[in-house]
Amino acid sequence: MTTQPRPIYMDHHATTPVDPRVLEAMLPYFSEYFGNASSRTHEFGWRAAEAVEAARAQVAALIGADADEIVFTSGATESNNLAILGAAEANLRRGRHVITCMTEHRAVLDPCRALEQRGWRVTRLPVEADGLLDPARLADAIEAETVLVSVMWANNEIGVIHPIAEIGRLCAQRGCLLHVDASQAAAMLPLDVRAAGVHLLSLSAHKMYGPKGIGALYVRRREPRVRLVPVVHGGGHERGLRSGTLNVPGIVGMGSAAAIARSEGAQVAKQLAALRDRLLAGLRARVPGLQVNGSLEHRLPNNLNVSIEGVEGESLIMGLRSVVAVSSGSACTSGSAEPSHVLAALGISPRLAHSSIRFGLGRGNTQEDVDRVVEGVAQVVARLRAMAPDAPPSAT
C-alpha cells in the first residue's frame, strides 16, 4: 500500500513551522525550569526571569533596539492593538487623528475602526497600482492633530515593501508617531528601527519559525520616549504595559527564532528569492493569462501573489490540495466570500481578485518543490478552464 505524499507547504505568510533549534531551546522551560518569571524569591523564578531577559535582548538585536524597549505580548495582533489604542489614549491632548493605509492587516484596520467609534478621525490612504504607499500622499494627510501613522513594513498578501525609512523621516519632521507592523518582514529583511525612524513596531514569533501565541512590541524609550496606555490590566507585568503571567517557553522560543533570523536571514532571503523567481518563470511559461499582483521590485523575497484569468481561486486551491498548501490571501480573512481588500485597493476587479492565489515560500522549499508546484498548477488550471468555455486557452 502506497501512501500519498504530503502536499508541499507554501503558505509561510500564514504561519511557519517551528525551527527544531527553537523547539530545543524551549523544551526545558516547560518542565525543568518551569518557574514564574515574576517569582523573585527562589531559583525557579530567577531562572525563568533570566531566560526572559536573554530572549528580550535577542529580539531587540534583531531590530536594532535596546532590550528594555521590548514588551512581550501574545502576538502581533495584540501588539498592534496596544500600539494603536495605547498611543491614541496617551496622546489625547495632541489630537484625535490617526492615519493608516487601505492595504493594512485587519489587526490594524479594526483597532482604527474602534477608535472611530470613540470619536477619532481615521484617514485610510490609498496605494498606487503596484501596492506602494506614496509618501507625498501621506505628507498631505498629516495634520496638526495627527497622533499616529500606522503602516506595515511588508504586506502579508502581496509582499510589497513600503518605504518605511522615508515615511519615518516624514513623521519625525511633522512630529507624529510611526507604528509599523513588521510581522512578515522580520525573518526576511534587515530591520533597524532607529535608522528607519520607527517609534512602535509589532512582531510575531510564528511568522519567523517560532511558536504561536507569542509576540512583541517595540516601544521607543528615547528621542522621543513613547508613552502608551495599557489595554490589558492586572499585575503590572512588562513595565505595566502588558499584564499577565509571562509565557516563558514562548518567549524563549521567540528569542531563539529572532537570533536565527538575525544570523541566517540574509542568506535565506537570497535562496528564497531565487526559488520565487523560478516559480514565477515556470508559471508564466505554463499558464497563460497570469498576472502578478503588486510590485516585483519592492517585494518580499518569498512572496508571489498572482491572479489567473478564467479560474476561481478557491477552486484552484481545492484542486491543488494534494500538491501544495497555499491560500487566496490573508489567513485571517480567507474564509470570507468578499474579494481581498488588499487587491481591491490596487484597483483589481472583483472577478480577477477572486482568481488570486498567494504563494509564501519558506526555508524548507526546494527547486524540486517549485517544479512540482508549477506542474500541478498548470494541470489544474487546464482542467478548470476546460470546464469554462470563455476562459483563456492553457499552454500545452
Same fold, 8-15+265-386 and 20-260: no
Which pLDDT belongs to residue 394? 59
Q: What is the pLDDT of residues 16-38, one digit of tens each?
A: 999 999 999 999 999 999 999 99
- Is residue 1 predicted with pLDDT exceeding 60? no
- Is residue 392 predicted with pLDDT exceeding 80? no
User: In CATH, which of 3.40.50.720, 3.30.300.100, 3.40.640.10, 1.10.274.10 is domain 20-260?
Assistant: 3.40.640.10
Please, which residues bridge with residue 146 across strands?
A: 97
- Is 3.90.1150.10 the CATH classification of the domain at 8-15+265-386? yes
Considering the entire predicted model, what is its pTM? 0.94
Which residue ranges make up each domain of the chain? 8-15+265-386, 20-260
Instruction: State yes or no: cis peptide before 301, omega within 30 of 0.
Output: no
- Any idea what DSSP says for residue 219? E
pLDDT above 90: percentage of residues in the chain: 89
2-6, 47-51, 134-138, 200-204: which range is least confident on average? 2-6
What number of other Cβ atoms are within 10 A of residue 223's Cβ?
A: 8
- CA torsion, points 63, 69, 73, 78, in degrees to nearest 10? -80
- Is residue 388 predicted with pLDDT exceeding 90? no
Q: What is the pLDDT of residues 113-137, one digit of tens each?
A: 999 999 999 999 999 999 999 999 9
The rounded distance, in Å, linking the Cα atoms of 159 and 181 is: 13
pLDDT level of residue 334 (50, 70, 90 thresholds): very low
**Active site amino acids:** 332
Which secondary-structure segment (H or E) carries 200? strand 200-204
pLDDT level of residue 329 (50, 70, 90 thresholds): low
- Is residue 342 predicted with pLDDT exceeding 70? yes
220-234, 274-288, 318-332, 373-387: which range is least confident on average? 318-332
Over the chain, what is the mean pLDDT?
94
- Is residue 102 predicted with pLDDT exceeding 90? yes
